[in-house]
Structure 1
Amino acid sequence: MADEQLQAQVAYEDLQDLQREFDEVETEIMRQQAKLTATLYERRAATVAQIPRFWPLVLEQAPPDIDQYIQPSDSALLLLSLTSISVSRFELDVAPQSLAISFTFAPNEYFTNDVLQKKFWYRKAMDGWSGLVSEPVRIDWKKGKDLTGGLLDLVIKAWEQDRGKVSGSLSAEQKSLSKKIENTGMGGASFFAWFGFVGRRISAEESVEANKIEAKAVADHKAGIQTEGSGHDHGDQEDEDLALEMSLEIFPDGDDLAVAFAEDLWPGALGYFSSAQEQDAMSDFDMESDDEAPDLAEKLDDSESDTVAPPLKKHRSQ
């Protein structure tokens, strides 16, 4: 029995090593793809800048994992004032998963910012978790025009006061934010609350240390060195801190939305724009069909034929 357990443990560790190698290959593919397509995206940006409302039309065709977060009040701003979107992988050689997503706006009635850029850093925690983390981005709202209802400003205030730290108990600013989130509910949160997403509070230093520990564990395993205690289990305090962090998160799916922009909308923008054009063309055709229908009906009424004509079929937009 002991031998079987040892074999199973070795096999499990081998699977973990294989998964890490698969992840490394995917990371390298991401890195090389970004390098190979950089000039193409530059050419695309120069071309679409000449097309009125290119990015608003792309957003109109956004897939559900993006569209579900855009409220009607957000659409009024995005469709009328958004001039461009861009995505960059600003840590390409170190962590190509890291993202910077920028939105450029024309002057509008909601805020004074010309560009809103949201950065996401790819980090690893000591407990083995890895993913995207961020810092809140300030939006300079005009009076009475804050689409987040004050949530984003509270995130900024708590972040600046407590430097993003959550441990043991909430500060006064964090308590105010937590209460506001609880009373607001996330079902109808504005898309612009996304700029307040933070995620797990994993510092660059912790991420570097976690990567070192993992690398050593992998090297030891390949060398046949058995190590104990290489894993990390959550303590009660860490679990409490994680729960407190989540109570301060105004956009829990912020990392998923960032990935949707970077891996779907951004590379597929030309396809989404073509879909918008086709839909507009179909809508125009429907309108022409509706205009012609009364004339055709009059001709049918004037006919001496006793045959009853079938109703006209209206083309449905795809």
Structure 2
Amino acid sequence: MAASLEDTGVTYGELADLEAEFEDVETEIIRKQFEMTKPLYEKRERLVSQIPNFWPLVLEQAPPDIDEWIQPTDSAVLLMSLTRLSVSHFEIENGGNGEPRSVSIRWEFNENDYFEDRVLEKKFWYRRSPEGYTALVSEPVEIRWKEGKDLTNGLLSLVKAVWDEEQQNGVTANKKEKKPLTAKQQALKAKIEEVGLGGQSFFCWFGYIGDRISAEESAAASAKEAENRARKRAGQPALPEAEEKEDEDDEDDDDDELEIFPAGEEVAIAISDDLWPGALKYFIHAQEDDEISDREFEEMMDQDSDEDDEMEE
């Protein structure tokens, strides 16, 4: 049965305002939680740095939101070469007053057969669109692959080239102007269709961009929302909405077609909100699984020995 607000005296606007107040409180909770837990994470880092293969074992127990994207070749790199994983709320580090839901995810590696980099760091900015919705947006991170070892089959290099072209030509700033795909964008689109998104490498995640929401657009949208809420409290009408262009949805479709890892935001949230804070829990699960495997192996060996003895008799 669909719920209706008719004859209740409650408006959708009041519900939306209350939801916004909850969001404000949640933002402050995240900020305060960061301040309170930072010393604990530093203590955890000192302890786990003494445990061999801590982060590979944690990643081996990753929740489905992460694990489903890790291919066997990715697993070989991550489990053999990953030395440290860390998450930081970079906009509020050192007393900053930025957005606490912006996160940076940093991966540190030993020397390996696949790429030259020892550190891969990907930042996600929490931004508000002119239409009012919020999302994590990012920039592609280049990986210096060794000869013939590119696990992304060239996708990451292509999306980085397209991104650099956009920044140089101001495509992002004028994204609502419908334009034909450039040669680099066409090459990226063709490569995505060739490779397919079903079995792409986890390292394609480093190429995730998301919605093209600039810092300026986000600041303006947040200021407009704050002003509208103030006007409502004062009994004044909200500011007029910006006129939408007819081809805006088509432009969004183009962005989706050029995204090499559509689930990039979800994976970032799973890492920052689940895997990272729950690392000790996942490590303990890994130890328990090892103990069970050892016990099952011993029981199997004992059973085989008993069967051999019976055959000898």
Match of residue 254, structure 2, among 235, 240, 244: 244
Matched, 1:176 2:180: no
Residue 55 of structure 2 aligns to a residue whose secondary structure is helix
1:161-216, CA deviations, whole angstroms, 9 ceiling, x for partnerless residues? 12162442221111111111122211101000000000001100000100111111
Go from structure 1 to structure 2 and tell me whether the alpha carbon gap of 1:85 and 1:95 turns closer, same or farther (over 3 Å shift): same
209, 219, 242: which one aligns with 2:230: 219
Tell me, in whole angstroms, the C-alpha distance in 2 between the residues paired with 1:172 and 1:244. 14
The offset of 1:37, in angstroms, is: 0.5
Q: Distance in 1 between matches of 2:37 and 2:73?
A: 35
Cα distance 1:6–1:217, how it changes in 2: closer, same or farther (>3 A)? farther
Partner residue in 2 for 1:308: none
Quote the offset at 1:297 in angstroms. Answer: 2.5
Correspondences of 1:122-271 after superposition (within 5 Å): 122-163=126-167, 165=172, 166=175, 167-168=177-178, 169-227=180-238, 229-230=240-241, 232=242, 234-271=244-281
Q: 1: CA distance between counterparts of 2:161 and 2:308?
A: 68
Cα displacement (A) at 1:252: 0.5
Q: Give the Cα separation in 1 of the matches to 2:9 and 2:196.
A: 44
The CA deviation at 1:7 is 8.2
Cα separation, partners in 2 of 1:301 and 1:246, compared to 1, 3 Å: same
> Which residue of the partner structure matches residue 118 of structure 1?
122
Deviation at 1:237, TM superposition (A): 2.1
Aligned-pair identity (%)? 49
Where 1:236 maps in the other structure, the secondary structure is coil
Aligned letter for 2:252? Answer: L
Q: Give the superposed CA RMSD.
A: 1.9
CA contact (8 A) 1:127 1:233 kept: no
Is the Cα contact below 8 Å between 2:126 and 2:137 reproduced in 1? yes
State the match for 1:34 in structure 2: 34
Distance 1:14 1:282 in 2: 54
Written as runs of structure 1 = structure 2, the 5 A alignment for 1:92-107 is 92=92, 93-107=97-111
Whole-Å Cα distance in 1 between the matches of residues 143 and 299 of structure 2? 46
Deviation at 1:295, TM superposition (A): 2.7
Aligned amino acid, residue 117 of structure 2? N
Deviates more, 1:48-57 or 1:282-291: 282-291
Counterparts of 1:195 and 1:16, CA distance in 2: 35
Q: CA deviation at 1:86?
A: 0.1
Is the contact made by 2:138 and 2:208 (CA closer than 8 Å) also made in structure 1?
Answer: yes
Q: Secondary structure at the match of 2:11?
A: helix
CA contact (8 A) 2:205 2:261 kept: yes
Q: 2:194 is aligned with what amino acid?
A: N
Output the CA distance in 2 between the equivalents of 1:253 and 1:22: 26
Secondary structure of the 1:117 match is: strand
Deviation at 1:10, TM superposition (A): 6.9
Distance in 2 between residues matched to 1:190 and 1:275, nearest whole Å? 26
Q: Is the CA contact (8 Å cut-off) linking 2:125 and 2:136 kept in structure 1?
A: yes
* 1:67 Cα deviation from its structure 2 partner: 0.2
Point out where structure 2 has 5 or more consecutive residues left out of the alignment. Answer: none
In structure 1, the partner of 2:306 is 296
In our comparison, the structure showing a higher alpha carbon Rg is 1
8 Å Cα contact 2:228-2:239 kept in structure 1: no
Is the 8 Å Cα contact of residues 127 and 234 (structure 1) preserved in structure 2? no
Instruction: State the secondary structure of the residue aligned to 2:86.
Output: strand
1:226 deviation in Å? 2.0
List runs of 5+ in structure 1 lacking aligned partners: 304-318
Q: Distance in 2 between matches of 1:191 and 1:22?
A: 34
How far has the Cα of 1:298 moved from its partner? 4.2
8 Å Cα contact 2:86-2:105 kept in structure 1: yes
Q: In 2 relative to 1, CA 153–8 (structure 1 residues): closer, same or farther, beyond 3 Å?
A: farther
Structure 2 counterpart SS, 1:133: strand
**Which residue in the other structure is 2:290 paired with?**
280
Superposed CA deviations along residues 235-254 of structure 1, whole A, max 9, x for unmatched, are 32211211111111000010
